[in-house]
Amino acid sequence: MQKDPVCGMQVDPNKAAGRSSYEGKEYYFCSPACKQKFDKNPAQYAGQAASQTAGH
């Protein structure tokens, strides 16, 4: 399972509603709306995803 960087929902990569690549990393989305938000400003959401996992 992967975490949707926009809403934080757990997403099965095989069933994801969308996928984007940013700085060599794949991101998976629960819905087309989350993918669209990410694609408009990937740096904002990629940074959140990194900071959410940094302490774990």
Domain ranges across the chain: 2-49
**What local confidence, expressed as pLDDT, does residue 54 receive?**
43
Mean pLDDT by 10 residues, the chain (56 residues): 96 97 96 98 81 45
Report the distance separating Cα 23 and Cα 40, nearest Å.
15
**What local confidence, expressed as pLDDT, does residue 49 receive?**
57
**What local confidence, expressed as pLDDT, does residue 45 receive?**
94
53 exposure class (CB count in 10 Å sphere: 0-12, 13-18, 19+): exposed
What is the pTM assigned to this prediction? Answer: 0.81
The candidate with the shortest Cα–Cα distance to 5, out of 15, 14, 20, is: 20
